[in-house]
């Protein structure tokens, strides 16, 4: 959750080099933008989304919430990012060397720790073996150094074990533990990205939602059938799960995991090209059909921000 949309846009596109892949509104609060950033094609696993509420109060990170977002960068890009952050006037700590459990045992990563303009903790993690993502012609960061996707999200809970059990039921496996953090990853080819870190805080202050905090963590599934199967599985375990919500570009269910963090399970389909071509992604305000008749009133109440100009796509992969 962000404050000023212009400031949010400038940081995630102009500094971090992500592509603005969709400009729409919060379907439950149409006077608020919903901004989606990702790689050139807006592939699942690369997406960060924001609700910028200009008049909302600042929140506070704490228990029952995602506290840190870690983004994967190629190992050889570390020097580039140190120079870029200094050039853009973004303060950071590091590089910090960490040994963390990975799919094949302990692996060394190098981390630049920073905060976005609203105070969200963001890490750039230079790790070996991160896969290539789709680049695009208008990217301000060269392809060899670009962010590859979500490396990990760290959640803070009072007790780790119930949260870890639920994540294992969703297909994650424990990679290892270091101090108070349990590291979980996906099996197989996807193991290098999309990790979850469960930090057991013991007695610690609860999070307070608001600007500068993370609202929820979304997990991807390929289709409606997989989503429905997981929904039924969660219900059998006594988890209270919402009905399926139509988010136009995907369909979602939501629930609180045992530690109180809000989780979403979203389908890959139909995807962001549902109403825009690859070339036009993020260049116009898109509204669902039920809000389209109110477009004039909605646009009058939204602050003006510059959408990216359409640019030719590069469809090759590194």
Strand, helix or coil for residue 135: strand
Strand, helix or coil for residue 291: coil
- What's the DSSP call for residue 191? T
Count of domains forming the chain = 1
Span 235-257, pLDDT tens digits: 999 999 999 999 999 999 999 99
Residues 262/263/268/274 CA torsion (nearest 10 deg): -10
How many other C-beta atoms lie within 10 A of the C-beta of residue 116? 20
The CATH number of the domain holding residue 310 is 3.10.180.10
User: Across the chain, where does the E strand assignment appear?
Assistant: 19-26, 29-38, 48-50, 65-74, 93-102, 105-115, 121-127, 134-136, 149-157, 173-178, 181-185, 195-200, 217-221, 245-246, 251-256, 262-267, 313-317
Based on the number of CB atoms within 10 Å of its own CB, is 300 exposed (0-12), middle (13-18) or buried (19 or more)? exposed
Residue 314 pLDDT: 38
Collect the ranges in the chain with pLDDT lower than 50: 308-318
Residue 291 pLDDT: 95
pTM of the model: 0.93
Domain that includes residue 258, residue range: 5-317
Contacts of 52 (CB under 8 A, 6+ apart): 1, 2, 3, 4, 5, 8, 32, 33, 35
Residue 307 pLDDT: 64
Residue 316 pLDDT: 35
Residue 192 pLDDT: 83
Based on the number of CB atoms within 10 Å of its own CB, is 62 exposed (0-12), middle (13-18) or buried (19 or more)? middle
């Amino acid at each position: 959750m962000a404050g000023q949309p212009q400031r949010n846009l400038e940081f995630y596109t102009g500094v971090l080099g992500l592509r603005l892949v969709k400009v729409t509104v919060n379907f439950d609060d149409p006077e608020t933008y919903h901004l989606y950033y990702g790689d050139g094609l807006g592939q699942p696993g690369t997406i960060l989304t924001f609700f910028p509420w200009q008049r909302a109060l600042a929140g506070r990170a704490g228990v029952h919430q995602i506290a840190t977002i870690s983004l994967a960068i190629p190992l050889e890009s570390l020097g580039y990012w140190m120079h870029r952050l200094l050039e853009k006037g973004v303060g950071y700590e590091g590089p910090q060397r960490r040994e963390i459990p990975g799919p094949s045992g302990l692996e060394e990563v190098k981390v630049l720790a920073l905060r976005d303009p609203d105070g969200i903790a963001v890490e750039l993690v230079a790790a070996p073996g991160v896969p290539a993502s789709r680049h695009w012609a208008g990217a301000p960061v060269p392809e060899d150094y670009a962010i590859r996707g979500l490396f990990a999200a760290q959640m803070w809970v009072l007790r780790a074990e119930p949260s870890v059990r639920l994540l294992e039921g969703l297909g994650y496996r424990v990679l290892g533990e270091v101090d108070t953090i349990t590291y979980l990853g996906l099996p197989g080819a996807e193991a290098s990205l999309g990790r979850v870190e469960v930090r057991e805080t013991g007695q610690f202050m609860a999070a307070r939602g608001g600007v500068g905090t993370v609202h929820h963590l979304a997990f991807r599934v390929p289709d409606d059938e997989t989503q429905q199967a997981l929904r039924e599985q969660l219900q059998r375990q006594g988890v209270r799960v919402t009905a399926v919500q139509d988010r136009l570009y995907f369909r979602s269910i939501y629930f609180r995991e045992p530690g109180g963090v809000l989780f979403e399970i979203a389908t890959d389909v139909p995807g962001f090209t549902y109403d825009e071509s690859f070339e036009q992604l993020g260049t116009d305000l898109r509204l669902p059909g039920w809000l389209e008749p109110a477009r004039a009133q909605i646009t009058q109440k939204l602050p003006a921000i510059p959408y990216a100009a359409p640019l030719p796509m590069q469809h090759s992969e590194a």
